[in-house]
C-alpha cells in the first residue's frame, strides 16, 4: 500500500467516526425533542386532531420551503421532484409519517400518552425485525429473547384490558417502516421532508377549506394564542424529523433504534407526573417486560459494537 493511499485511508476513518458521532447527536436530539412535544400538543386538545394535523402539514410546508430558498437548495429539490423512483418512495413515506402524526396527536387528545410511550419503546425491536427481513441482519439469541419479552408484554396488556393496544403498535410499526425507508433512500433530509409535506399539502388544504365551509377552522375563529400554537405546529414535526433523518443516514439501524428510548421515557414521565395518567399494575407488567427486553437488547448491541471496534483496531485495513 502506498503512502498516499495510507493517508487517504487514514483520513477516511476519522471522517467516518465524525459522521457517526454527528449522526448520533442528531438522532438523540430529535428523539428527546419528540418526547417533549407532548407538552406542546396538550395545549391544542380543544382543536380536533384532524385539523391539528392539517395545520401541522400546512405550516411545515411554509417552513421547509422557506429553508429551501434560504439555503439555495432549489436545484436539489427539483432533482428530487423529477426523479420518479425517489418521488414514489417519498409518496409512501409521506403517507406513513402522516398517519403516524395523526395517531400521535389523537392519543394526546384522548389522554392516552402512556400508549404512545409504550409504542416508542417497542419501536427499536420492530426496527430490528425490519433489519432481519430487509437488510439480511441476523438476530442473536439475546435479541430473540428481547423480541419475545416485548411480545409477551403486549399480550399481557391485550388480555387484561380486553383490546389490542393499537395506538402503541401502530406508532411502533409505522415509525420503524418510515425509518427503514428513509435510511435506504438517497435524499438529503431537508429535500426529503419538503417533498413529504408537499405531497400531504393538497389533502391538508382540502380538509381546511371544507371545514371552513362547515363549522369553521380554528385558525380563523380561535384565540390568538391558539392560532400561534397552530402556526408553531409546523416546526414541531420538522425539527425532530430533520434531526432523525440526519442521524438515520449516518448510523446503523440498530444504533438508531437504541436512541429511541429517549422519546418514550420523556413521554412516560410527562404522562404520569404532569398529566396524571394512571400507571396500572398491567402497565407496570407490560412496561417491565419490555424494559427487560430492551436492557437485554442494549447489552447485546453494546457487546457486539465493542467486539467490532476491537477487531477494527487489530485490523485497521478492514
Instruction: Please provide the DSSP assignment of 33-81 as one string.
Output: HHHHHHHHHHTTTTS-HHHHHHHHHHHHHHHHHHHHHHTT-HHHHHHHH
> pLDDT, tens digit, for every residue of 238-250?
788 778 778 877 7
**pLDDT at site 200:** 96
**pLDDT at site 92:** 95
> pLDDT, tens digit, for every residue of 61-81?
999 999 999 999 999 999 999
Query: Is pLDDT of 196 > 90?
Result: yes
In this prediction, residue 4 has a pLDDT band, given cuts at 50, 70 and 90, of low
Question: For all residues of the chain together, what is the average pLDDT?
Answer: 85
In this prediction, residue 171 has a pLDDT band, given cuts at 50, 70 and 90, of very high
Could you give the CA distance from residue 15 to residue 18 in angstroms, rounded to a whole number? Answer: 5
Whether the Cβ atoms of residue 216 and residue 47 lie closer than 8 Å to each other: no
- Give me the mean pLDDT over the 121-150 stretch: 84
**pLDDT at site 75:** 93
Query: Is pLDDT of 6 > 50?
Result: no
Could you give the CA distance from residue 109 to residue 129 in angstroms, rounded to a whole number? Answer: 31
Q: Which of 10-19, 29-38, 46-55, 169-178 has the lowest mean pLDDT?
A: 10-19
**pLDDT at site 134:** 82
Cell of 36: 417533549
> pLDDT, tens digit, for every residue of 140-153?
888 889 889 988 98
**pLDDT at site 246:** 81
- Give me the mean pLDDT over the 41-57 stretch: 93
Helix%, strand%, coil% for the chain, nearest 5: 85, 0, 15
pLDDT cut 70: percent of the chain above it: 90
Whether the Cβ atoms of residue 45 and residue 108 lie closer than 8 Å to each other: yes
N-to-C CA span, the chain? 13
Please report, for the chain, the start and end positions of each structural domain, with discontinuous segments joined by +.
23-314
Amino acid at each position: 500500500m502506498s503512502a498516499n493511499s495510507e493517508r487517504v485511508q487514514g483520513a477516511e476513518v476519522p471522517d467516518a467516526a465524525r459522521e457517526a458521532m454527528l449522526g448520533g447527536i442528531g438522532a438523540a436530539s430529535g428523539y428527546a425533542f419528540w418526547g417533549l412535544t407532548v407538552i406542546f400538543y396538550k395545549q391544542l386538545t380543544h382543536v380536533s386532531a384532524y385539523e391539528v394535523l392539517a395545520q401541522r402539514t400546512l405550516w411545515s410546508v411554509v417552513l421547509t420551503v422557506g429553508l429551501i430558498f434560504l439555503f439555495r437548495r432549489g436545484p436539489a429539490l427539483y432533482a428530487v421532484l423529477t426523479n420518479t423512483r425517489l418521488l414514489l418512495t417519498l409518496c409512501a413515506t409521506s403517507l406513513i409519517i402522516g398517519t403516524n402524526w395523526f395517531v400521535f396527536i389523537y392519543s394526546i387528545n384522548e389522554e392516552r400518552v402512556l400508549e404512545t410511550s409504550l409504542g416508542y419503546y417497542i419501536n427499536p425491536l420492530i426496527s430490528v425485525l425490519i433489519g432481519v427481513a430487509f437488510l439480511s441482519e441476523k438476530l442473536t439469541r439475546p435479541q430473540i429473547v428481547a423480541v419475545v419479552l416485548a411480545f409477551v408484554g403486549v399480550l399481557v396488556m391485550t388480555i387484561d384490558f380486553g383490546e389490542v393496544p393499537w395506538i402503541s403498535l401502530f406508532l411502533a410499526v409505522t415509525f420503524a417502516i418510515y425509518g427503514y425507508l428513509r435510511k435506504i433512500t438517497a435524499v438529503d433530509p431537508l429535500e426529503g421532508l419538503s417533498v413529504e409535506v408537499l405531497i400531504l399539502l393538497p389533502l391538508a388544504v382540502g380538509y381546511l377549506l371544507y371545514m371552513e365551509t362547515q363549522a369553521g377552522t380554528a385558525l380563523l375563529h380561535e384565540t390568538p394564542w391558539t392560532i400561534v400554537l397552530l402556526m408553531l405546529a409546523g416546526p414541531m414535526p420538522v425539527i425532530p424529523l430533520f434531526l432523525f433523518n440526519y442521524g438515520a443516514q449516518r448510523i446503523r439501524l440498530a444504533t438508531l433504534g437504541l436512541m429511541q428510548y429517549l422519546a418514550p421515557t420523556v413521554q412516560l414521565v410527562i404522562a404520569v407526573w404532569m398529566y396524571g395518567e394512571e400507571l396500572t399494575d398491567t402497565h407496570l407488567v407490560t412496561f417491565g417486560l419490555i424494559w427487560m427486553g430492551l436492557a437485554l437488547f442494549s447489552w447485546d448491541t453494546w457487546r457486539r459494537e465493542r467486539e467490532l471496534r476491537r477487531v477494527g483496531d487489530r485490523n485497521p485495513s478492514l
